[in-house]
Every structure is written in structure tokens, then in C-alpha cells.
């Protein structure tokens, strides 16, 4: 047995509870409403195949060579022009998925013990990315419109303990599916500017709206006070691991140095493929097809919940976009305890407790409506209802 | 101007001296002997094109989906079987370039102020990757056979200040091109095992030998006492950013958790492409062609140095593989000061000082013999000699 001295942070880096729990969901034939996997039906495989052939035929040597840490210029320009506020391509840093953006932000902004604010609940992957820098992660109380401004002020800290940043997922949040209202965005943006607390805005799902676009990003309201994280994982495909950070020009050089130290640069081949796929306005044609599919599947899940959960005392929300729906079980029920019973009935979900920085609500759980088909959703929700009924 | 509170580590993360210096080398028409870019002539573009088409046609949905943080099973198996000691694929972690392996190792093993040993000089990218974890980086005195075992012992520290690991590049080292001898490997490996100090062995160049393979890796001598980093950047192409870590099973889970937090997983598409390219023994056919090309170019550089530097008091070594050759200028000359004068004569190199954890030797510089052609090497070395002659 190796007996090395590990870094103190290693003791805080534990196997993801979700990851461990979900191992039980890998049995064949299970309907997984658990994972955050985009529907592979939406992956533009033909367009990728054409782009690979074209890039390798015309630009193969450059596409396979080392490249600048900032990212491929044409892709940085495509990102800047896709975003709905005035972004200079020089502010765009291409990352190896937006998960890497979280790692870089924590490296540049968080010291051991420094205060970092998150929503209640929040994205588990962000908690995992911040943890190695050992910040003091503090939850801001939140309702169905997002974090409460009063509690943001109350938790903001001051002086040497002032929050280094607040991390937010305003659109169709993972895990809850909720969206910050216009009023809440305006109020939080103003208060953050007043207090001088940077906002780190993570927006992987913002383009996946069903009926109308969400309100303008927080970053659009105060670009100098925000770092914005975006991703191609939900609008093209996650397997290329392409995300981006948009940062104020005063902060960008430090994020760039952290990026260079972390992996030199994001794969130049992947960047050129995506730039090639995007170049004739592909996203504007493609994203509506994803919206239509996911809206259809959200509707199927809402209908199944109405039908199957009647009288069980289960609550859920109706997300206006994205991939996830948030469920609250009847009083006294525990989602972690329920999961193995659900798996016996061939359906899986993610217990909500994993998404809280501190004390989680044991009654909550997250359902994805995008990976399983509408027919599978029907079967899965019926099985979940049967599991709950038996546990009552 | 944004006035955010940055992490303490951000103050230590400075623009790479090399990066800044090399900006002056980007002028058109310059012969760069500076960068560490593999010759693009060696990139197997046709094989990649076929692999992309095949993977997308037969396995597109999986190749573009999220995947396990450990890596693609077939690629992990290919790595395990390529390595010259008994490696279980379960010990292989696929990384986003071997640079990421350095980031993960530092996260898991280095605390602020903890002792980390490096060679004199060492790979600049490793210094950059370790710095964000704020270790106390200590140079071990080295000669042309590698680090001195006596100084390894002297610098190893003890008790709470015992070195967390020593980082080594035993084969055709970046920047010096030197190779650790069999005797030095055996002695250092034995001493590290005796003292219980883990060795982190970085081996991106080991397959690029010219006349005979280098001695067995340090990890092969004591797998439980070493972490091994490998890369496809020099034997296939760097633009896919594919590397790997081989770690003892007791350490692997922590590296895996750090990997998951850093970028979820290395691009699944890239992993499948490379697994497809490798599957019929491609490396065994392809790598000899790289060796032959690089040997030819090393010979061209050695011949040019003999011819052009006669009587100037310049010293250089004769690397047995890899990409780099190490030069020492005449007494009193400074490579950083020489660089702009060389650039005026249309040749660039990297001053050696950047590669030292502490006080660098200002007379040293690194030359790459792989990016420029043999004809360009002739012209470049003549220009460098003229620059030195004028500075004498």
C-alpha cells in the first residue's frame, strides 16, 4: 500500500456522491432520468464528419499542431458574435469544456478559506471544481426566482472576508431547472456592483428555451463585474469538450496563465472543427430543433407527473427550458433512501442533497427529461410513482 | 479598471518569460529554433481523416457524448500494452495532454509551502503547472547524466518538510536533451524508494531515440513509488491534446477526482480517433519514421554547429533522441541579451534561464532541431554564429 503524503486538499476531494450512487443505475434496461446527458439524437454527426474531412484536407498540419492558449481566432470571433452583448474576441478564452472555466476561476479568485457564494442548491460540478482551492463555500438562500438579494447581502462578508465571487446559473439551472426573473437579475446585478462582488455566470443551457428567450444575462448588464462561462456541449455535442470564458480585460491575463499551466490549450483540432461547423450560421438553424425536442420531452414528463403522481403529495416545477426538472417528495421521505427502490423498478434519478453546499433538502430530487425518449419518460415516471406509493 | 481581490497564487502566476520573449520571434521569415513544435510533416493526417470518418460513421453518438473521467477503455488498454512494464489499464488515466497530468499531480500532492524537487534545469511547463499550488520548488543539482543522487538526498527534506515528490524527465530532457544513464536511474530509484519520496516521471520524448532505446523508465523499476506521465503529442500530434497518467492504485482515485473536477473528461471524440489510429499497431510503423527524420535534423544541427561555431568558445551537447539541444555561450555572454540581436539576423532560440527553478545559468540556451528543416537549420545556425561573433 502506497503511503504518500497527500495535499490537504486531497482529503476534501471525495468521490462524487452522485457518481457512487449512479453506479447502481448502470444495470441494463434501466430508464435513467438521472444523468445530464444531452440527447444524442441532437448531435450533428454529418456536419462534424464534413468538418473533420475539410479541416484535415485544407488545414491539417495547423489543426494537429500546438496552438495559442487563448484559442483559435475564428472560434473566439464566433463566440463573441454569438453572445447577445458587445464582446471583444480578445476577451474570449476557449476552455476544455466550461467545467475547466470553473477550475480556472477558482484558481485565480479563491484562496484557502476565502468566501465564495453559491445558490441553494447549485451545480455539483462547480462545488467539485472549487473544492481543490479550499474556499469557504457559502449558500445564498434562493427561491424559484433565484438567489434572494437580501441573503446575498447578508452572506457577502466584508473586508478581508468579502466574498471573492458569487457563482450563478441563471437560466434553467442545474439542478432545479429554475430561471432567474428579470426583476431578480436587475436587483442582484445592481447590488453586486454596489458591493463590488464579482459574479461568475454559468450559462450552458441559456439557448435551450422553449417559449421565449430568458432575460438578458447578468454579464450583459455589467460586463466589467462578471465572468461569463459558456459551452458548446448542449448546442452541439459534449464529447468535443469545448467551452469558453468571457472575462474583463483586467482579469483575462490571469485566467490565461492558469489555462496555459492547466493544459497548454484546448485541442486545436476540436476548435477548428467547431469553427467550421458554425461558420455558415449553423447554430441558428440547429438550436431550434433541440428546443423543439426538449420541449416535447418536458411536456411528456409534466403530463406523466400529472397523471402518475396524483394524490401522492409530490411537488414539481415546470422549467421554461434546459434539461432538468426538480421534484420534492412528500414530507418524511428521503430521496437517497428512495433511489435503490426506484432502481429495483428500473428507473433512476439524482437525489437532490448532492447539490447543496451545506445541508441539503433530503426530499428533493432531479429528473432529466432530455436523455430518455417520451415513451421512456412515461414508463419511468410511472415506475417512480409506484416506488413513492409503496414508500408512503 | 476591475479591482477584484485575486487569490494569492495569482500573483505568482506570471506571463511565461519565454512566451513574452518569443513574441519578438513571430516576425515573418524568421527561422525559429525556439519552439518545441513537432515537425508537422510527421502528423499522420490521412490516418486521422480515416479514423474520424470511421468513428463518426460507426460510433458517432457515443463519440460525441459525455464519457467516463478515467478515459476510453480501448485507449487505456492501448496505453497499458504500449508501455514496457506490467501496467493494468485500471491504472491509466487519460488526460488532456500530459500538461494536465502535471496540474493533477500538483493538486493531489503539493500543499502551499511543501517541498517539491526538480532537476536543474527543468521543463518550464512543469514549473508553471506546479506554481498555482504554491509549493516550495527546490532544484537538485544535475550533470549530463541527470540529477545527482547526493544532492537528491541533501535536498529531500525530512519529517513534515520531506519532499512530496521529485519531478524528472529522464529521456532527452526538455530543455537540455540529456538522458539519465542506467547507473543514475538505478541509484536514484533505489534512494527514492529508501527515502519514501515519490518520483513523477515525465516521458513525452522517450520513443524518439535515434540509435538505441534509452534505459528502462524509473517507473518500471518501482511502479508503486512512481507516477508516470505519457503523451501522444510527439508520436502522433499535439493538437488532439491526449496524454495519460499511470499511477499506483492507492493514488489513482485522488487523481481521478481531480481530473473530474478539472474538465470532467478528456474529449471522447479525440480518444476514439486515437484508439482507432492505434488499433492495428500503427505506432510501431510510424514512430521509426519520426526517429529517422529527427535524427537527420539533429545531425544537420551538429554539423552546422561544428562548422559555424569553430573558435567561438561555444559548447553544446549531442542528444541521443528527442527534440532539443543545449548550448552554452562563451563566458560573460548572456542569452537573453543575445536573443534580440539574433532575431535581427532572422533566427530565434529560447534563453536557458527560463528553465531554472531558481538562479539560471545566463549563458545557456535551447535549440530545437525538429521544427525547422535541415536547410533552415544550416542557415539558422550560421546566423546564430554571426550574432555570437559580433557580441564577442
At residue A277's C-alpha, the angle toward residues A272 and A279, to 5°, is: 90
Phi and psi of B199, rounded to 5°? -105, 130
Question: How many other β-carbons are positioned within 10 Å of the β-carbon of residue A391?
Answer: 16
A25 and A107 co-located in one domain = no
Q: Looking at residue B357, what is its pLDDT?
A: 87
Reference A140, options A159, A161, A122, A164; nearest CA is A122
Boundary of a domain, candidates B241, B257, B281:
B281
Q: Looking at residue A359, what is its pLDDT?
A: 85
Reference A238, options B86, B19, B210, B265; nearest CA is B265
**Domain harbouring B373, CATH code:** 3.90.1150.10
- Cβ pair A96:B99 closer than 8 A: no
**B278 to chain A nearest CA, in Å?**
16
- What does the alpha-carbon distance between residue A31 and residue A54 come to, in Å, rounded to a whole number? 38
Examine residue A70 and state whether it is found in any structural domain, yes or no: yes
- What does the alpha-carbon distance between residue B206 and residue B172 come to, in Å, rounded to a whole number? 7
B14 and B72 co-located in one domain = no
B-proximal residues of A, 190-229, CB under 8 Å? 196, 198, 224-225
At residue B132's C-alpha, the angle toward residues B129 and B133, to 5°, is: 100
Question: CB-based contact (8 Å) between B81 and chain A?
Answer: no
- B263-298 residue pLDDT tens: 999 999 999 999 999 999 999 999 999 999 999 999
**A311 to chain B nearest CA, in Å?**
37
A268 and A345 co-located in one domain = no
B310-326 exposure pattern, b = at least 16 Cβ within 10 A, e = fewer: eebebebeebbbbbbbb
List of chain B residues whose C-beta atoms are within 8 Å of the C-beta of residue A64:
40, 43, 45, 48, 237-240
**A158 to chain B nearest CA, in Å?**
12
A122 and A137 co-located in one domain = yes
Examine residue A53 and state whether it is found in any structural domain, yes or no: no
List of chain B residues whose C-beta atoms are within 8 Å of the C-beta of residue A14:
257
Boundary of a domain, candidates B260, B281, B302:
B281
List of chain B residues whose C-beta atoms are within 8 Å of the C-beta of residue A264:
97, 99, 125, 241
- What does the alpha-carbon distance between residue A327 and residue A10 come to, in Å, rounded to a whole number? 33
Residue B20 confidence (pLDDT) above 80: no
- Cβ pair B8:A111 closer than 8 A: yes
A104 and A180 co-located in one domain = yes
A38 and A117 co-located in one domain = no
B247 and B343 co-located in one domain = no
Question: How many other β-carbons are positioned within 10 Å of the β-carbon of residue A207?
Answer: 23
**A297 to chain B nearest CA, in Å?**
19
- Cβ pair A266:B9 closer than 8 A: no
Kindly list the distances between the CA atom of residue A6 and the CA atoms of A2, A9, A31, B197, in Å, as whole numbers in the listed order: 11, 8, 39, 12
- Is residue A243 within 8 Å of A233, Cβ to Cβ? yes
List of chain A residues whose C-beta atoms are within 8 Å of the C-beta of residue B263:
95-97, 99-100, 103, 241, 263
B181 and B302 co-located in one domain = no
Q: Select from A11, A13, A114 the residue whose CB has the most chain B CBs within 10 Å, as the one to mutate to test that interface.
A: A13
Task: State the Cα torsion B63-B66-B68-B74 to the nearest 10°.
Answer: 0
Question: How many other β-carbons are positioned within 10 Å of the β-carbon of residue A158?
Answer: 9
Examine residue A335 and state whether it is found in any structural domain, yes or no: yes
- Cβ pair B49:A49 closer than 8 A: no
Question: How many other β-carbons are positioned within 10 Å of the β-carbon of residue A266?
Answer: 31
Q: Is the peptide bond before B384 cis (omega within 30 degrees of 0)?
A: no
A141 and A208 co-located in one domain = yes
Question: CB-based contact (8 Å) between B247 and chain A?
Answer: no
At residue B266's C-alpha, the angle toward residues A41 and B18, to 5°, is: 135
Find the farthest-apart pair of alpha carbons in chain B and give their distance in angstroms, rounded: 63
Given a cut of 50, the residues of chain A with pLDDT beneath it are 1
Examine residue B138 and state whether it is found in any structural domain, yes or no: yes
Question: CB-based contact (8 Å) between A6 and chain B?
Answer: yes
List of chain A residues whose C-beta atoms are within 8 Å of the C-beta of residue B110:
7
List of chain B residues whose C-beta atoms are within 8 Å of the C-beta of residue A63:
239
- What does the alpha-carbon distance between residue A110 and residue A293 come to, in Å, rounded to a whole number? 39
Q: Please tell me which of the candidates B45, B65, B258 has its beta carbon nearest to residue A60.
A: B45
| DSSP-H helix ranges across chain A | 8-12, 17-23, 45-63, 73-82, 97-109, 124-130, 149-155, 182-195, 218-221, 252-263, 268-278, 282-308, 335-344, 374-391
- What does the alpha-carbon distance between residue B264 and residue B91 come to, in Å, rounded to a whole number? 18
Kindly list the distances between the CA atom of residue B262 and the CA atoms of A204, B62, B235, in Å, as whole numbers in the listed order: 17, 21, 25
Strand partners, B231: B243
Boundary of a domain, candidates B230, B259, B281:
B281
A226 and A95 co-located in one domain = yes
CA atoms within 13 Å, Cβ hemisphere of A42: 28
Examine residue B58 and state whether it is found in any structural domain, yes or no: no
A288 and A273 co-located in one domain = no
- What does the alpha-carbon distance between residue A182 and residue A198 come to, in Å, rounded to a whole number? 19
A-proximal residues of B, 113-172, CB under 8 Å? 114, 125, 128-129, 131-133, 162, 164-165
Question: What are the grid coordinates assigned to B285, written together?
Answer: 510503423
- What does the alpha-carbon distance between residue A39 and residue B65 come to, in Å, rounded to a whole number? 9
Q: Please, which residues have CB within 8 angstroms of residue B141's CB and are 6 or more apart in sequence?
A: B120, B147, B148, B151
Examine residue B19 and state whether it is found in any structural domain, yes or no: yes
- Is residue A335 within 8 Å of A351, Cβ to Cβ? yes
Instruction: For residue B63, give the chain A residue with the closest CA.
Output: A239
Question: What are the grid coordinates assigned to B165, written together?
Answer: 515528490
List of chain A residues whose C-beta atoms are within 8 Å of the C-beta of residue B5:
109, 114, 162, 164
CA atoms within 13 Å, Cβ hemisphere of A351: 25
Reference B305, options B313, B179, B35; nearest CA is B313
- What does the alpha-carbon distance between residue B360 and residue B349 come to, in Å, rounded to a whole number? 16
DSSP state at residue B247: -
Q: Please tell me which of the candidates B14, B61, B132 has its beta carbon nearest to residue A43.
A: B61
B-proximal residues of A, 348-367, CB under 8 Å? none
Rg of chain B in Å (alpha carbons): 21
- What does the alpha-carbon distance between residue A101 and residue A129 come to, in Å, rounded to a whole number? 9
Phi and psi of A352, rounded to 5°? -70, -25
List of chain B residues whose C-beta atoms are within 8 Å of the C-beta of residue A109:
4-7, 10
Q: Looking at residue B35, what is its pLDDT?
A: 85
Question: How many other β-carbons are positioned within 10 Å of the β-carbon of residue A355?
Answer: 29
For the segment B163-169, the average pLDDT, to the nearest whole number, is 98
**B87 to chain A nearest CA, in Å?**
16
Q: Looking at residue B1, what is its pLDDT?
A: 46
Residue B104 confidence (pLDDT) above 90: yes
Instruction: For residue B225, give the chain A residue with the closest CA.
Output: A2
For the segment B21-28, the average pLDDT, to the nearest whole number, is 70
Q: Select from A56, A109, A162 the residue whose CB has the most chain B CBs within 10 Å, as the one to mutate to test that interface.
A: A56
> What is the number of domains present in chain B?
2
- What does the alpha-carbon distance between residue A1 and residue B303 come to, in Å, rounded to a whole number? 51
- A264-287 residue pLDDT tens: 999 999 999 999 999 999 999 999
Examine residue A359 and state whether it is found in any structural domain, yes or no: yes
**Domain harbouring B127, CATH code:** 3.40.640.10
Question: How many other β-carbons are positioned within 10 Å of the β-carbon of residue A103?
Answer: 28
List of chain A residues whose C-beta atoms are within 8 Å of the C-beta of residue B11:
none
Question: What are the grid coordinates assigned to A140, written together?
Answer: 445564498
SS3 A138: strand
Question: CB-based contact (8 Å) between A267 and chain B?
Answer: yes
Question: What are the grid coordinates assigned to A310, written together?
Answer: 396524483
Class of residue A238 by CB neighbours under 10 A (exposed 0-12, middle 13-18, buried 19+): buried
Examine residue A311 and state whether it is found in any structural domain, yes or no: yes
Between chain A and chain B, how many beta carbons pairs sit less than 8 Å apart?
A: 260
Reference A10, options B322, A280, A2, A18; nearest CA is A2
List of chain B residues whose C-beta atoms are within 8 Å of the C-beta of residue A107:
7, 9-10, 132
Domain, as residue range, for A289: 8-43+284-391
- What does the alpha-carbon distance between residue A21 and residue A35 come to, in Å, rounded to a whole number? 11
- Cβ pair A262:B198 closer than 8 A: no
- Cβ pair A239:B49 closer than 8 A: no
Instruction: For residue A61, give the chain B residue with the closest CA.
Output: B40
Q: Select from A22, A261, A268, A272 the residue whose CB has the most chain B CBs within 10 Å, as the one to mutate to test that interface.
A: A261
Q: Please tell me which of the candidates B4, B38, B225 has its beta carbon nearest to residue A109.
A: B4
Question: What are the grid coordinates assigned to B371, written together?
Answer: 521544427
- Cβ pair A239:B133 closer than 8 A: no
At residue B154's C-alpha, the angle toward residues B148 and B160, to 5°, is: 130
Residue B269 is inside which H or E element, if any? helix B268-278
- What does the alpha-carbon distance between residue A381 and residue A387 come to, in Å, rounded to a whole number? 10
Instruction: For residue B98, give the chain A residue with the closest CA.
Output: A263
Question: CB-based contact (8 Å) between A48 and chain B?
Answer: yes
- Is residue A204 within 8 Å of A175, Cβ to Cβ? no
- Cβ pair A240:B9 closer than 8 A: no
HEC secondary structure over A301-317: HHHHHHHHCCCCCCEEC
B146 and B288 co-located in one domain = no
Instruction: For residue A247, give the chain B residue with the closest CA.
Output: B2
- Cβ pair B64:A40 closer than 8 A: yes
- What does the alpha-carbon distance between residue B115 and residue B112 come to, in Å, rounded to a whole number? 9
- Report ipTM (2 d.p.): 0.96
- Cβ pair B15:A253 closer than 8 A: yes
**A5 to chain B nearest CA, in Å?**
6
- What does the alpha-carbon distance between residue B110 and residue A378 come to, in Å, rounded to a whole number? 50
Instruction: For residue B272, give the chain A residue with the closest CA.
Output: A239
- What does the alpha-carbon distance between residue A152 and residue B239 come to, in Å, rounded to a whole number? 43
Indicate the pLDDT class of residue B118, thresholds 50, 70 and 90: very high
Amino acid at each position: 500500500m502506497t503511503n504518500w503524503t497527500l495535499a490537504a486538499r486531497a482529503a476534501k476531494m471525495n468521490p462524487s456522491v452522485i457518481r457512487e450512487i449512479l453506479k447502481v443505475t448502470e444495470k441494463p434496461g434501466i430508464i435513467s432520468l438521472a444523468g445530464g446527458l444531452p440527447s444524442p439524437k441532437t448531435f450533428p454527426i454529418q456536419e462534424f464528419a464534413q468538418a473533420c474531412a475539410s479541416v484535415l484536407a485544407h488545414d491539417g498540419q495547423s489543426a494537429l499542431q500546438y496552438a495559442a492558449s487563448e484559442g483559435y481566432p475564428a472560434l473566439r470571433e464566433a463566440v463573441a458574435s454569438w453572445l447577445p452583448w458587445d464582446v471583444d474576441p480578445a476577451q474570449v478564452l476557449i476552455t476544455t469544456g466550461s467545467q475547466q472555466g470553473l477550475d480556472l476561476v477558482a484558481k485565480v479568485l479563491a484562496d484557502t478559506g476565502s468566501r465564495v457564494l453559491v445558490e441553494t442548491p447549485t451545480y455539483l460540478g462547480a462545488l467539485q471544481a472549487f473544492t481543490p482551492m479550499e474556499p469557504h463555500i457559502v449558500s445564498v438562500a434562493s427561491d424559484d426566482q433565484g438567489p434572494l438579494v437580501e441573503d446575498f447581502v447578508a452572506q457577502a462578508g466584508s473586508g478581508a472576508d468579502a466574498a471573492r465571487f458569487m457563482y450563478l446559473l441563471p437560466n434553467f439551472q442545474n439542478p432545479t431547472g429554475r430561471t432567474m426573473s428579470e426583476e431578480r437579475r436587475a436587483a442582484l446585478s445592481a447590488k453586486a456592483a454596489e458591493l463590488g462582488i464579482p459574479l461568475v455566470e454559468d450559462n450552458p443551457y441559456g439557448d435551450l428555451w422553449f417559449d421565449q428567450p430568458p432575460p438578458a444575462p447578468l454579464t450583459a448588464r455589467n460586463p466589467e463585474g462578471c465572468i461569463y462561462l459558456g459551452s458548446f456541449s448542449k448546442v452541439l455535442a459534449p464529447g468535443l469538450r469545448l467551452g469558453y470564458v468571457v472575462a474583463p480585460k483586467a482579469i483575462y491575463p490571469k485566467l490565461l496563465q492558469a489555462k496555459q499551466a492547466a493544459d497548454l490549450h484546448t485541442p486545436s483540432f476540436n476548435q477548428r472543427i467547431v469553427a467550421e461547423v458554425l461558420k455558415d450560421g449553423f447554430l441558428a438553424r440547429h438550436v431550434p430543433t433541440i428546443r423543439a425536442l426538449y420541449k416535447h420531452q418536458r411536456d411528456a414528463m409534466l403530463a406523466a407527473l400529472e397523471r402518475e403522481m396524483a394524490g401522492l403529495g409530490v411537488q414539481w416545477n415546470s422549467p421554461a427550458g434546459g434539461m432538468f426538472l426538480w421534484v420534492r417528495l412528500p414530507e418524511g421521505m428521503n430521496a437517497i433512501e428512495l433511489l435503490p427502490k426506484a432502481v429495483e423498478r428500473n428507473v433512476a434519478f439524482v437525489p437532490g442533497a448532492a447539490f447543496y453546499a451545506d445541508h441539503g433538502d433530503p426530499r428533493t430530487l432531479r429528473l432529466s427529461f432530455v436523455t430518455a425518449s417520451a415513451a421512456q419518460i412515461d414508463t419511468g415516471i410511472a415506475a417512480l410513482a409506484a416506488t413513492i406509493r409503496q414508500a408512503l
